[in-house]
Amino acid sequence: MKISVLGSTGSIGKSALNVISNFKNCTVIGLSANKNKSLLNKQVKKFKPKYIAVGINELKNISLIKEADIVLIAVVGSSGLIPLINSIRLKKRIALANKEALVIAGELISRLLKKYKAKIVPVDSEHSAIFQCINDNDKSQISKIILTASGGPFRNHSYKNLSKVCIKDVLRHPTWRMGKKITVDSATLMNKGFEVIEAHYLFGIPYDKIEVVVHPQSIVHSGVEFIDGSIIAQLGITDMRLPIQYALTYPKREYSSIKKLNLAEIGKLEFHKLSTKNFPCFELALSAAKISGSMLTVLNAANEVAVKKFLDNKISFIKIPKLIEKAMNRHKVIKNPDLEDILKVDFETREYVEEIAR
Ligand code: MN3
């Protein structure tokens, strides 16, 4: 089996190479990284890939994925879109860890998947769980998807408190160790909003059948309720190597030396209703989802710029949703946007948010 890992120096990419190094019949054919050249060099020495790419522009090069059986897309943000589209056109098995591509171009991706008969196996832990729970069940028998959320580090904070939080507070996620961008998205709950959209496009389930439930322990990774009232859920420790491995071995399972879940040790699992009062980003994501079309591209582009500004210490935490809302309010929606529309809206939104954040 030949695998290309796009975004190999990020958190998911590193975990993926760790998983791959334990597989006997697996070769790494392509590796790509954005900036971390020293780590990429080490990976190249170890895995000896035929194709190497550095920087976002090189991701568009199809030689990186052409000879692969599986393409793992683990790059951050909208730069995942072009390699995703190329992988679909080349009818590849896609292990998808990048959710932004589905947020900004969900309708287009759905159309292309049907046309080229390519397959996405999700890597996002919640979506891997849902994918495993649905298994071969007929989709008409699903009554709802139960998407779990840890609630992030500010689940019990007041809004007044949120106006004072700094980067260090935001980057301290209670259950998962992840890259910086997704950790900020988890703190604003934008990540959970994105995941609702991701689930909608991956599984073709309407938004009113996707329920978000807070589960602080992050042990139940998500579940599916069927029309007879049965719920099937997937459980596991909080280690991304689990969903990554499943996406690579699907439809089979392989032995893994990852620590097993000990339920008696955990003792109790809690579930709460999600309160979105302090998390306007979640509400913005849902309203963009309902409008759909190019509004979803605006949602993501504005969020990417705002999160970058926050990480660069240029804006406060509570300014993030304010910038996104402004960008959404001025946008004239394009229904069923094509790739050209999406790239244009993405570019214009970034320019606008850069401008108003100054
Ligand atoms: Mn997730």
The DSSP result for 194-256, as a single string, is: HHHHHHHHHHT--GGGEEEEE-TT--EEEEEEETTS-EEEEE--S-THHHHHHHHHTTS----
pLDDT of residue 224: 98
Element (H, E) at 110: helix 100-116
Angle (nearest 5°) at CA 279 between 284 and 11 = 90
**Does 57 have pLDDT greater than 90?**
no
Distance 261 CA to ligand 1 centre (A): 19
Distance 47 CA to ligand 1 centre (A): 28
Average pLDDT over residues 74-98: 96
**Does 176 have pLDDT greater than 90?**
no
pLDDT of residue 334: 98
Q: Give the chain's domains with CATH numbers.
A: 1-122 (3.40.50.720), 152-188+276-356 (1.10.1740.10)
CA dist 62 to 6, 7, 84, 102, 238, Å? 12, 15, 11, 20, 33
Distance 242 CA to ligand 1 centre (A): 13
pLDDT of residue 83: 97
Per-residue pLDDT band for 177 (boundaries 50, 70, 90) equals: confident
Distance 255 CA to ligand 1 centre (A): 23
**Does 309 have pLDDT greater than 90?**
yes
Distance 338 CA to ligand 1 centre (A): 27
228 exposure class (CB count in 10 Å sphere: 0-12, 13-18, 19+): exposed
| pTM of the shown model | 0.96
**Does 88 have pLDDT greater than 90?**
yes
- Residue-wise pLDDT for 264-293, tens only, equals 999 999 999 999 988 999 999 999 999 999
Distance 124 CA to ligand 1 centre (A): 5
**Does 237 have pLDDT greater than 90?**
yes
- Residue-wise pLDDT for 116-161, tens only, equals 999 999 999 999 999 999 998 899 999 999 999 999 889 888 888 8
pLDDT of residue 11: 94
**Does 335 have pLDDT greater than 90?**
yes
pLDDT of residue 358: 87
Distance 332 CA to ligand 1 centre (A): 30
- What DSSP string runs through 269-309? ---EEPP-TT-HHHHHHHHHHHH-TTHHHHHHHHHHHHHHH
**Does 172 have pLDDT greater than 90?**
no
Average pLDDT over residues 324-336: 98
